[in-house]
Amino acid sequence: MSTVQSDLSTIIRSNENPLVRFATGAGLIVLTYVALYALYAVQQPRALTSYSIAALINNTAPLALAAAGQAIIVISRGFDLSVAGVISICNVTLAVYPMDGPGGALASVVLCLAIGGSVGLVNGYLVAVLKLQSIAATLATMIICQGIALVILKAPGGSVSEWIVYEMTDRIFSVIPVSGLILGGVVLIWLALKRTSFGISLYAIGADETSAALSGINVTRVRFLAHVLAGCTYGLAGFMLSAQTATGNPTSGTPLLMLSFAAVALGGTALTGGRGGVFASIMGAATLILLQKVLFSSGVSSFYTGMFQGCILILAVVFSSLLARLGDAK
Amino acid sequence: MNSTSKPPSQDHRLVQTGDTRVSAKISRETISTLSVTILCLVLLFSARLINPALGSWSQVETVLILGFFLVVLSFGQGLVILTGGLDLSLPATITLGGILATSWIGAGNPAEWYLLPAVLAVCGLVGLASAIGVIWLRVPPFIMTMAMSIIVASALLGYTKGTPRGTAPDMAVALMKGDILGLPAPIVVLIIFVIVGWLFQSRSVYGRYLYAIGTNVEAARNAAVPVTAMRILPYVLSAICAGFVGIALVGYSNGATLRMGDDYLLPSIASVVIGGSSILGGRGTFLGSVGGALLLTILGTIIATLGLEFGFRTIIEGSIILIALLLLREELFQKLRSLKT
């Protein structure tokens, strides 16, 4: 494995320049988030209480998890539209078949992970084994998933079990939000995974699939696993969304589709693959949500939120690629 | 009408090695266009088995009128995909066309003959903005067009204060509900559009330029292709097509809504991909996309008559897109070719 790693270092654009690492890593987006939060705190002094921080993280969690899964696929140079379908299925399942108590919550999480994982298995088979174009294959699975969600629940309704709704949006010792712990857990798992041969192979495939295959990476296996992993993450996103909304909606995942890509791009992950990360994408999602709050508290009509989101998205991508190019030029 | 398509004379897949001269006579595009067309016809006629009312001329008319919107969109989307991009701004641009047509013009406005082109020009500007972002700011097309979509949708929300008003311009109503030479007007316009679109993409020098850019930008630049202008063109044309669809939709349903374009984005991509184009660019024909768009429309009308719940209909639709993708796979074509030789 060590030989594989040393071979791969030539494929992966591992750049030691601090400017490049700042632009391509999570540095830029974390800085943006902190600056935006400072602005928010000036407008709303309440923003620094643990209650509002927890509320903000609760709002962020579903999109952040969707973006985390999407980032895994984007790093391996793919697109995954099925995120919307998986979240919708998980949401309606939890609303139609609520299971109460801690045991029920555990069963619900496992169920959501299983739903996401099985959709991921199908995607993985279509994209990795049958070599279909990922955007087209996941478009089909997304439409099928949306159909399944509509079969389970025709119109918005049902209610998610109270235990999930209360405990998943609560704070431990009145300080640490549960949703924040879950996000932290996902980031830790990712940081560990990134250092395994799977993580390294994922970046290698995204940067240059042919070279990766030539250096002995089993491209099919890695891509397959990536889709399963991403599917499970979407399942978790569906779980957290249900805890947030407390009710079922067969199209609840649709608004998260485009926003998940926006979050990934805002986090500096190149949509051409091989660059970026899960943590940066989660921060991208957090920035998008925080931006809505800041605009709202500045008195901007919610009609125009999209204009700011769109412009900031373009600016972020231009700025981060500009920094990366400046760094490369040195 | 698809059977008249001849393969583009040169095979642009330069990577192919080995002696393929015999098999290359039938290009991949021809096979995928033909198979989509055959699938369309089979579906149309087998629909009679499900319901005797289907498969008749009046059903063909319905399919063509409903398919009008998707065919026009798939032309623009196809051009953008051909050059290696993707246009996600279609829903917002469709809505832009529709809302400007109702709020600027409305029924009985004598100035519509120059205001309708003005609406299309505004839509074209959205495409131009996307192109500027993609080419000069080097924002990936996926992000740039998505951001434009979010921006335009939000501007429209603010402009209409959430409730679009106004009625459809007379020309838009005439376009969708009128008659030309005894045929429904949208069908005549559709046929003319398909012929012009096919001539542009597969027979004109501009179409050749786009294939060249989609295959390899640097090689195209070296071959004296006006790269910058030809990379702007698809985005502008796609936005104008979307605006045109917005106007047509307003004529069809006599009013605009803020979500009128939402249901067309994914089908527009699906049509192009089912029609045999590569999402990576450089490959695919407009006639293939037309076949893909009509296939999706036929499916929609057949599934609608089955009397199933909406959920099951959606599942069937997705499954058939998947089956079409599996049938049109690269490896299958390779096998078909090796059978022939």
| Domain boundaries defined on chain A | 2-329
Tell whether the model's pLDDT for residue B1 goes beyond 50. Answer: no
Q: Closest approach of chain B CAs to the CA of A145, in angstroms?
A: 7
Chain A residue closest in CA terms to B320: A140
User: Which tens digits make up the pLDDT trace of B275-293?
Assistant: 888 777 788 889 889 988 9
Q: What is the pLDDT of residue B10?
A: 46
CA atoms within 13 A on the CB side of B183: 13
User: Which tens digits make up the pLDDT trace of A126-173?
Assistant: 999 988 888 888 988 999 999 999 999 988 888 888 888 777 777 777
Query: pLDDT band for position A329 (50/70/90)?
Result: low
Q: Tell me what percent of the residues of chain A surpass a pLDDT of 90.
A: 29
CA angle in degrees (0–180, nearest 5) for A73-A78-A82: 70
Contact A306 B329 (CB under 8 A): no
Identify the CATH class of A2-329: mainly alpha
User: Which tens digits make up the pLDDT trace of B222-240?
Assistant: 888 888 899 999 999 999 9
Distance separating the N- and C-terminal Cα atoms of chain A:
32
User: Which tens digits make up the pLDDT trace of B104-115?
Assistant: 887 777 878 888
Residue A78 near residue A127 (C-beta atoms within 8 A): yes
The contacts of residue B173 (CB under 8 Å, 6+ apart) are B107, B251, B254
Query: pLDDT band for position A6 (50/70/90)?
Result: very low
Q: What is the pLDDT of residue B330?
A: 63
User: Which tens digits make up the pLDDT trace of A187-234?
Assistant: 999 989 888 888 888 888 888 888 888 888 888 999 999 999 999 999
- Which CATH number does the domain B28-340 belong to among 1.10.287, 2.30.30, 1.10.3470, 1.10.1060? 1.10.3470
Q: Residue B184 phi/psi, 5° resolution? A: -60, 135
Contact B146 A131 (CB under 8 A): no
Q: What is the pLDDT of residue B332?
A: 66
CA angle in degrees (0–180, nearest 5) for A305-A306-A309: 90
Query: pLDDT band for position B152 (50/70/90)?
Result: very high
Q: What is the pLDDT of residue B123?
A: 95
Chain A residue closest in CA terms to B158: A303
Chain A residues within an 8 Å CB radius of B143:
261-262, 265, 271, 313-314, 317
Chain B residues within an 8 Å CB radius of A148:
311, 315
How far apart CA A293 and CA B37 sit, in angstroms, is: 51
- 3-state class (DSSP) for residue A159: strand
Query: pLDDT band for position B94 (50/70/90)?
Result: very high
DSSP state of A128: I
Chain B residues within an 8 Å CB radius of A151:
309, 311-312, 315
Contact B154 A137 (CB under 8 A): no
- Interface mutation target, options A143, A153, A256, A269, chain B, most CBs of B under 10 Å: A143
CA distances, A53 to each of A177, A287, A288, A327, B145 (Å): 8, 13, 15, 35, 33
How far apart CA B286 and CA B74 sit, in angstroms, is: 8
- Interface mutation target, options A307, A315, A319, A328, chain B, most CBs of B under 10 Å: A307
How far is residue A50 CA from its own chain's centroid? 24
- Average pLDDT, integer, range A101-118: 91
Q: Where are the alpha helices (DSSP H) in chain B?
A: 28-50, 57-82, 90-100, 112-135, 141-160, 170-177, 185-198, 205-215, 217-222, 227-253, 265-274, 286-305, 310-327, 330-340
User: Which tens digits make up the pLDDT trace of B64-92?
Assistant: 888 999 999 999 999 999 998 889 899 99
How far apart CA A329 and CA A323 sit, in angstroms, is: 10
Contact B314 A147 (CB under 8 A): yes
The reported pTM is 0.81
**Secondary structure in 3-state letters for A83-105:** HHHHHHHHHHHHHHCCCCHHHHH
Tell whether the model's pLDDT for residue B8 goes beyond 60. Answer: no
Chain B residue closest in CA terms to A77: B280
Contact A130 B266 (CB under 8 A): no
Tell whether the model's pLDDT for residue A84 goes beyond 50. Answer: yes
User: Which tens digits make up the pLDDT trace of A264-291?
Assistant: 888 877 776 667 788 989 999 999 899 8
Tell whether the model's pLDDT for residue A122 goes beyond 80. Answer: yes
Q: What is the pLDDT of residue A11?
A: 47
More confident site: A218 or B20? A218
Average of per-residue pLDDT values in chain A: 84
Contact A136 B273 (CB under 8 A): yes
Residue B170 near residue B177 (C-beta atoms within 8 A): no
Query: pLDDT band for position B333 (50/70/90)?
Result: low
| Domain ranges across chain B | 28-340
Residue for token pair 């920094």: A323
Chain B residues within an 8 Å CB radius of A147:
311-318
Tell whether the model's pLDDT for residue B28 goes beyond 80. Answer: no
Q: Write the residue in B137, B278, B317 that is nearest to A318 by C-beta.
A: B137
ipTM: 0.79
